[in-house]
Structure 1
């Protein structure tokens, strides 16, 4: 009984462990951080964002902020009337759903100066399926006693 519980636990870890440990942190703008005059579309180009990944926005607190907006507000740099911006200077956003995500700075005309980011979040890649290992114990038809199978792959 105890061996089967260990097997189930190992199977769960092997199946779901890669999804838990594969999340990545993306430092938006790398060493430049979240600032004006940086090409965030160039920074995002070639990167793959998945559900569970995290965007980290670093900037001097009070100098900038981060608003999550829709595509229309992104294009026109409109600060939404509803919702509060992130303002800590070390803001982390967990990417919880797939699809396009838009972020802007709502301070002054920073968005118009290029302080905006659009990314596409991909669904979390599923790990390869794990088939249970064949049991070395088998039952022959008509027999109630197990025998050891020496012909395992």
Structure 2
């Protein structure tokens, strides 16, 4: 009996099964991971003499994405303002000051609307302003309808039979290996 206990305790799941399980889990989670973190300005970061309108052009910002501002923390800041203050570079009454003091600020885009960001202290006049529109993710494409001549399990079962046979064989092989 003690030998049986030892055998059961010493047997473990083969590494290939663990790897297969992990790969399958990652594949299941991929559709859920859809948020994007945009580094504002790319390699240039949040800096003067850069056209952020051109940078944002062609990009789609969706609900759940993030903006990552990288800048000189001793000089610049990140302020969210309304459209009027954005157009006039007025930083006197920001809607939100995203500046944390580290020069690495993250802004969650969790509401579908227009966002307007500027840098105060006169840097807005040097081009440090960004306007984006955040929208909801588009719905996934619909599946095409099943054609009446398409093979089904009832009409041509052999099409589905081979993957089922391989799955049963793999499960049986794992069972025998563990036993």
More strand per residue: 1 or 2?
A: 1
More helix per residue: 1 or 2?
A: 2
Is 1:93 aligned to 2:89, yes or no?
no
Which structure's CA Rg is the greater one? Answer: 2
List alignment gaps of at least 5 residues for structure 2.
1-26, 144-152, 161-179
Task: Pick one of 109, 121, 126 that aligns with 1:113.
Answer: 126
Which residue number in structure 1 is paired with residue 83 of structure 2?
71
Q: Write the mapping of 1:135-146 to structure 2, written as runs, cut at 5 A.
A: none
Could you give the per-residue CA deviations for residues 106-136 of structure 1, whole angstroms, max 9, x where no partner exists?
Answer: 1x21001110000111112333578xxxxxx
Contact 1:33 1:58 (8 Å CA) reproduced: yes
More relative contact order in 1 or in 2 (CA 8 Å, sep 6+)? 1
Which residue number in structure 2 is paired with residue 30 of structure 1?
42
Runs of 4+ in 1 over 2 A off after TM superposition: 80-85, 124-130
List alignment gaps of at least 5 residues for structure 1.
1-12, 131-149
Cα root mean square deviation, aligned: 2.6
